Structure 1
Amino acid sequence: MADRKVDSETGVETTGHNWDGIEELNNPLPRWWLWTLYLCIIWGVGYSIAYPAWPMISGATTGVLGWSTRGNVAQDIKEHEGQNAELVAALVQTDMDTLSDNADLNRYAIARGGAVFRAQCSQCHGSGAAGATGYPNLLDNDWLWGGEIAQIAYTVRHGIRNDTDDDAHWSQMPAFGDQLEKDEIAATVEYVVSLSNTEFDAALAATGSELFAENCASCHGDAALGDQDQGAPNLADAIWLYGGDRESLTYTIVNARFGVMPAWGQRLSEEDVRAVSAYVHALGGGE
């Protein structure tokens, strides 16, 4: 370049760059730095040949070594399954009602079931299994379809009111909005409120009691204690899946409810179904 010159003090040619009177000397790069750069380039080329590196249309180059993180994980899972093969076989073969008799197997089942629950069930029932509106609390002793460990396993395996498993639990509450007048619905609501609340309209609840006996007792029972064979909830224990205030109860009676649970037996292995059932049963609410 025309403006390059030799520095008078060092005898080194300048680059021609000038910043506020300061000129840059055109000294060569240090040999160690250059060799480091060259080695990094060689290493990078070798790495991209040996390992997955370059993204393609439908994937990445696999590398001549065929290594992958997925392969490592798969190998770890295979080794883990091999170490627990005996426990898995025992878990599948053991009668669920006698699972707690084998302390080691029961401990393994609960630990495995906890992992399954957190991955598959916590999205609806909550990380602590306390449930939410429309999703049952699994910590209490209020069970629509039975809380014994074998009953829990059946529910997990086949689900509730789904259209993918012919053995799913199934029940249907009528929508009474087309069958009862508004005042009749209000009276029925007041009666249901009276079953678990000390503040209610006694006269209105008395009328509701008769309407309940005519329309609701066939499923919920004369004393409104529910029926697990039909999945009919107990209405006298102040535990509510969709809310026990008058507004929520009115909506339930008028429109009915239709909660659905997937058939996890179609998604999970048998050992995982049994394990998560053991975990849920051990949470404290199992019958």
Structure 2
Amino acid sequence: MADKKHIDEISGVETTGHEWDGIRELNNPMPRWWVYTFYVTILWAIAYTVFYPAWPMLTTNTKGLLGYSSRAEVAQELAAAKTSQMVYLDKIAALPLDQIVADKELNQFAIAGGAAAFKVNCAPCHGSGAAGGPGYPNLNDDDWLWGGDLESIHTTIAHGIRYDGDADTRVSEMPAFGEILDADQIKQVAAYVISLTGTPSDAALVEPGKQVFADNCASCHGEDAKGGRDFGAPNLADAIWLKVDGEAGIAAQVRQPRHGVMPAWTARLGDSTVKQLTVFVHSLGGGE
């Protein structure tokens, strides 16, 4: 004779016969609609693997009866986007920089394209916001080593700075004055330079330092110490420092200068992208 089924006293539902520490499991079957939905999902999954790429194999995967490829779809979308951009890219390639900037629609396109190229290629050194850092110029201000007009920026980006792979790269190097001046003269010129924007550690060193500067530094930095763009010589009278910090840093740079290197980007990116980068950088803080 079969065992009598146990019915829960509170719910009136039959139990499964399983019991743990006096707790019985109710035999509540899933709702029919849920079970049918579950079966449908199984059928859907099987159909999906038949019609679409799904199962991995040793060297490839099943292609599916429909022959669909997400990579091919992305490639088509990228090609379509590239085609729609060609009208602007062709204009940028053909027009000089000043005409690109003068065309409102073309200028907006160039700034957007330049911003994208900047994030990929330039941000690792200049920062995502182009604010620079120690040894890397801030491109948002009006302090330019080689000039901030369109043509100057384009030349800098296209040919780089002290880049061995480009014969037209910008080249200038500050001598190591530790081999030219004695220790006292270096202290004096550092005191003079810091006096242009701050307070030197010893005011008595400023006047002799001014003479040392005139004899050794003014030919590049100018008699007023405001720099020379023909040589990439920085303005020393504006309190914007690229490689040094304070009087001791100035002395160290005079003694043994550090020289930055920037790649030439035309060979890597093409002239059209370089033009877009030029327009973008000029929009940040470019000036004559």
Return the offset for 1:233: 1.4
Cα gap change, 1:25 to 1:200, in 2 (>3 Å): closer
Q: CA contact under 8 A between 1:196 and 1:238: conserved in structure 2?
A: yes
2:284 aligns to what SS in structure 1?
Answer: coil
Structure 2 counterpart of 1:152, one-letter code? I
Q: CA contact under 8 A between 2:191 and 2:200: conserved in structure 1?
A: no
Structure 2 counterpart of 1:268, one-letter code? L
1:231 aligns to what SS in structure 2?
Answer: coil
What is the TM-score when the length of structure 1 is the normalising length?
0.82
Q: Which runs of 5+ in 2 are unaligned?
A: none
Cα gap change, 1:100 to 1:23, in 2 (>3 Å): closer
- Number of residue pairs aligned between Structure 1 and Structure 2: 282
Return the offset for 1:184: 1.7
Q: Provide the aligned C-alpha RMSD in A.
A: 3.1
The residue aligned with 2:141 is 140
The residue aligned with 1:284 is 285
Q: CA contact under 8 A between 1:145 and 1:229: conserved in structure 2?
A: yes
Find the aligned partners of 1:77 and 1:179 in 2 and give their Cα distance. 58
1:162 aligns with 2:163: yes
The residue aligned with 1:67 is 69
Q: CA contact under 8 A between 2:6 and 2:17: conserved in structure 1?
A: no
The one-character-per-residue Cα deviations of 1:242-273 (angstroms, maximum 9, x if unpaired) are 24520221221122111122222233232221
The one-character-per-residue Cα deviations of 1:91-139 (angstroms, maximum 9, x if unpaired) are 1111113333322222221232223233433333233333222111212
2:61 aligns to what SS in structure 1?
Answer: coil
Find the aligned partners of 1:14 and 1:5 in 2 and give their Cα distance. 13
Task: Please point out which of 5, 8, 30 is paired with 1:7.
Answer: 5
Q: Percent identity?
A: 48
Find the aligned partners of 1:250 and 1:52 in 2 and give their Cα distance. 66
What is the TM-score when the length of structure 2 is the normalising length?
0.82
Cα gap change, 1:202 to 1:9, in 2 (>3 Å): closer
Find the aligned partners of 1:172 and 1:55 in 2 and give their Cα distance. 58
2:269 aligns to what SS in structure 1?
Answer: coil
Find the aligned partners of 2:183 and 2:55 in 1 and give their Cα distance. 68
1:101 aligns with 2:102: yes
The residue aligned with 2:250 is 249
Find the aligned partners of 1:253 and 1:61 in 2 and give their Cα distance. 64
Cα gap change, 1:74 to 1:195, in 2 (>3 Å): same
Find the aligned partners of 1:180 and 1:269 in 2 and give their Cα distance. 44
Cα gap change, 1:169 to 1:62, in 2 (>3 Å): farther
The residue aligned with 1:151 is 152
Cα gap change, 1:74 to 1:270, in 2 (>3 Å): farther
The residue aligned with 1:262 is 263
Structure 2 counterpart of 1:67, one-letter code? S
Cα gap change, 1:249 to 1:51, in 2 (>3 Å): farther
The residue aligned with 1:111 is 112
Alignment of 1:1-287 (within 5 A): 5-9=3-7, 15-24=16-25, 30-54=31-55, 61=61, 63-64=63-64, 65-68=67-70, 70-197=71-198, 201-287=202-288
